[in-house]
């Protein structure tokens, strides 16, 4: 039985139900019925967005996890927007930029990151002047009908990846600009998030007051505050938000580490004391967050030695390995049956759908680096992206939950009124439509890694090292004859061959890539 058959049944039932009423009452019933069905059918036409979006993201992830970055970039670019125009879809623009970076197409990758930044800026501006229409539609349908709202960590990673792309291209000046922007985003994150939460809370309170006023006097008026309190306890007892140990103040240790490393290398080249201070502040902060990472402690010791007058002394060549390991978490849907308390003693049961974070595996525990002689070491974690993402997800969850409950209240109220005024068959149609529109928004930037690891060592005399692990195919890396080198390695999952790029410092040119 399809939707149109059910609508026909309910129309017949409604005709049977209203024959006993006067013409004036019949007109009121007609109006209420058409308004309610119109609202719900419109919502039904928009339903399925979240499931469709989740399927599209899964299609991209299949290419990306297999390290088929060219196919992943083509897939994402097709969905980001028309090829002859600037992309309009922020999420797919981010996915495309990441895949292009994986494919070592750094210039096109940065072009997409530039588009993404422009879309983020536009999204911020629109948020300030949004008249509530989009939010009202999202409450009626689900959050997937709204444009993708970037997380704070999205913006930080955009600028960090742009800087790394520029270093691979030998563009030291613009890399510096992007790292300063990433640092500024992190510095302003707490204030920006507090403003966003306050704005969202104000929107929800206005929506809650409007719904309460609209339903005042209805036969099945919902006690919104009581319902929210009970639902929140029920949901939070099943969603393990505390498993995501938070980083303080939205700090992404990898972005801060890259900042500290860049300004350390810049200071050794220019002798600029300001660069050295920036490097010291950044590395000191990271060292306090990952006290067991010996490589970061060695970097901090180096910069402290340079700050004590060691800039004039020649330094031994050093190689850093930066490793993108695995893939970050994805959002999955979880449904809850919840009670909505009426002003009377009755209780209506309905359902809401909420996102939950589901971790994905690392490609390997760590990389092993060897030169065939004495050099034997492993990479160590400097930033857990599961924690970075979980920190923001946890702080945002109360808002997501409240929106879902308000949407359920609105849909349940409309369903109840249709049933009351038009009969049980019409109520069945309304219930089916409510079910179809109850979906969780599962969109997120899925190309981010699970974690970042680092290692550092003196350049071996052989000029080559082998990088691998029991889970990954080994790669032979030729090191440049340069004062400093960075080997950037990426592996999305076990059983693949890691991609890598070697950058010399000063970054005069891209040395090699695979």
pLDDT tens for 257-299 read 999 999 999 998 888 889 999 999 999 999 999 999 999 999 9
- The interaxial angle of helices 385-422 and 133-140, nearest 10 deg, is 70
Tell me what percent of the residues of the chain surpass a pLDDT of 70.
Answer: 77
**Alpha carbon distances (Å) from 263 to 256, 259, 350:** 11, 6, 55
Question: What's the helix, strand, coil split of the chain in %, to 5?
Answer: 60, 15, 25
Residue in the block written with tokens 């809650």: 208
Q: Is the pLDDT of residue 420 over 70?
A: yes
| Structure-token pair, residue 253 | 């240790």
Q: What is the H or E stretch that residue 448 is in?
A: none
Cα dihedral 206/211/213/215 (nearest 10) = 180
More confident position, 198 or 402: 402
Q: Is the pLDDT of residue 121 over 90?
A: no
470 confidence band (pLDDT: 50, 70, 90): very high
**Alpha carbon distances (Å) from 472 to 62, 126, 366, 412:** 18, 45, 10, 52
Q: Which class for 33: exposed (0-12), middle (13-18), buried (19 or more C-beta within 10 A)? A: buried
pLDDT of residue 41: 56
- DSSP-derived pairing of the beta strands 510-513 and 499-505: antiparallel
pLDDT tens for 194-243 read 777 677 667 766 766 666 665 555 555 667 777 777 777 777 777 666 66
pLDDT of residue 204: 66
More confident position, 416 or 386: 386
Cα dihedral 327/333/336/341 (nearest 10) = 110
Tell me what percent of the residues of the chain surpass a pLDDT of 90.
Answer: 47
- If one counts every other C-beta atom within 10 angstroms of the C-beta of residue 24, the result is 8
Q: Is the pLDDT of residue 360 over 90?
A: yes
pLDDT of residue 3: 43
| Structure-token pair, residue 14 | 């409604």
pLDDT of residue 237: 72
pLDDT tens for 481-510 read 989 999 999 999 999 999 999 999 876 544
pLDDT tens for 83-120 read 778 898 999 999 999 999 999 999 999 999 999 999 99
Q: What is the H or E stretch that residue 510 is in?
A: strand 510-513
Q: Is the pLDDT of residue 37 over 90?
A: no
Q: How far apart are CA 429 and CA 417, in angstroms?
A: 13
More confident position, 15 or 436: 436
Mean pLDDT of the chain: 82
Cα dihedral 302/304/306/308 (nearest 10) = -150
- If one counts every other C-beta atom within 10 angstroms of the C-beta of residue 471, the result is 17
């Amino acid at each position: 039985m399809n939707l149109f058959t059910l609508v026909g049944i309910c129309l017949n039932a409604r005709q049977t139900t209203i024959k006993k009423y006067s013409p004036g009452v019949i007109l009121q019933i007609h109006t209420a019925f058409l308004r309610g069905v119109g609202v719900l059918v419109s919502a039904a036409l928009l339903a399925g967005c979240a499931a469709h979006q989740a399927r599209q993201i899964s299609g991209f992830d299949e290419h990306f996890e297999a390290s088929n970055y060219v196919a992943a970039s083509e897939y994402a670019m097709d969905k980001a927007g028309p090829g002859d125009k600037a992309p309009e879809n922020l999420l797919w623009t981010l996915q495309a930029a990441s895949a292009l970076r994986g494919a070592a197409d750094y210039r096109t990758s940065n072009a997409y990151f530039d588009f993404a930044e422009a879309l983020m800026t536009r999204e911020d501006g629109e948020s300030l002047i949004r008249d509530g229409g989009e939010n009202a539609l999202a409450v009626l349908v689900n959050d997937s009908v709204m444009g993708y709202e970037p997380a704070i960590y999205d913006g930080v990673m955009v600028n960090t990846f742009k800087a790394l792309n520029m270093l691979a291209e030998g563009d030291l000046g613009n890399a510096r600009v992007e790292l300063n922007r990433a640092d500024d985003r992190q510095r302003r994150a707490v204030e920006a998030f507090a403003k966003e939460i306050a704005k969202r809370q104000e929107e929800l309170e206005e929506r809650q007051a409007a719904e309460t006023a609209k339903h005042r006097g209805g036969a099945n008026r919902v006690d919104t505050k009581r319902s929210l309190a009970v639902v929140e306890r029920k949901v939070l007892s099943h969603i393990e938000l505390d498993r995501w140990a938070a980083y303080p103040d939205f700090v992404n240790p990898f972005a801060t580490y890259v900042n500290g490393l860049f300004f350390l290398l810049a200071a050794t080249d220019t002798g600029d004391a300001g660069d050295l201070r920036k490097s010291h502040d950044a590395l000191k902060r990271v060292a306090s967050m990952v006290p067991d990472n010996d490589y970061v402690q060695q970097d901090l010791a180096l910069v402290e030695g340079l700050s004590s007058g060691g800039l004039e002394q020649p330094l031994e060549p050093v190689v850093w390995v930066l490793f993108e390991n695995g893939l970050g978490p994805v959002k999955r849907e979880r449904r809850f049956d919840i009670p909505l308390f009426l002003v009377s003693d009755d209780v209506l049961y309905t359902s809401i759908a909420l996102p939950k974070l589901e971790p994905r595996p690392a490609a390997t525990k760590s990389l092993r680096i060897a030169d065939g002689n004495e050099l034997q070491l492993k990479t160590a974690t400097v930033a857990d992206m599961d924690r970075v993402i979980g920190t923001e997800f946890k702080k945002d969850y109360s808002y997501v939950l409240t929106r879902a409950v308000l949407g359920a209240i609105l849909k349940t109220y409309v369903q109840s009124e249709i049933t009351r005024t038009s009969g049980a068959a019409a109520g069945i149609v309304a219930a089916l439509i409510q079910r179809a529109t109850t979906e969780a928004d599962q969109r997120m930037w899925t190309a981010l890694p699970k974690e970042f690891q680092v290692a550092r060592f003196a350049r071996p005399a052989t000029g080559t090292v082998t990088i691998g692990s029991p889970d990954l195919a080994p790669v032979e890396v030729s090191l440049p004859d340069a004062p400093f080198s960075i080997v950037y390695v990426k592996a999305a999952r076990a059983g693949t061959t890691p991609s890598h790029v070697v950058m010399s410092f000063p970054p005069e040119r891209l040395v090699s890539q695979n």
